[in-house]
Structure 1
């Protein structure tokens, strides 16, 4: 994924609409949370099987794709706003989690890491 290119495209889109005045870290974090909740709403009350099959329903699939796209857009906007290299941050976090959750100790377990 070309995160820098997408950030530029989103910045242009928002700039053309004079939305940068609203896109501060607080507002972007709140908007991101709202979009995550809207994705959760698509799965609310579904069984495990229904949630696994959600993309088989064209109407539901488009809604899920759009909510995920909204989440990605706000995530890219906030990382751009805060000058965070999202790819580097993700690689760093994966490395931290590899150390925190060694496969031999956590394989097949959903338990939380405790120091």
Structure 2
């Protein structure tokens, strides 16, 4: 997506004029390319962060992630799962944390893309 937009923007007259005037690639990127796809990069980064949180929790839930001395949400869910029948609210804490983080990243991405 970013590559296609960059290839399109490079062919624009203002970018070609900047190249003809002798401005370097960093100046062209900073002044002409980055403002055009800054929102797209931020949106993709937020969606990627939400996906990473969910993937890390999923990997920890199946015992592939970090080992017990380290705190990790998926591992917390697995360790608290046997106590679900006695105290179900204890399991809701790591679940709620994952949901809030993923939802927060997606809301940030949706708000910045508009």
TM range (shorter): 0.3 to 0.5
Task: Give the number of the structure whose residues are more often helix, by fraction.
Answer: 2
The two structures have a TM-score, normalised by structure 1, of: 0.38
The two structures have a TM-score, normalised by structure 2, of: 0.38
Q: Highest relative contact order (Cα 8 Å, sep 6+), 1 or 2?
A: 1
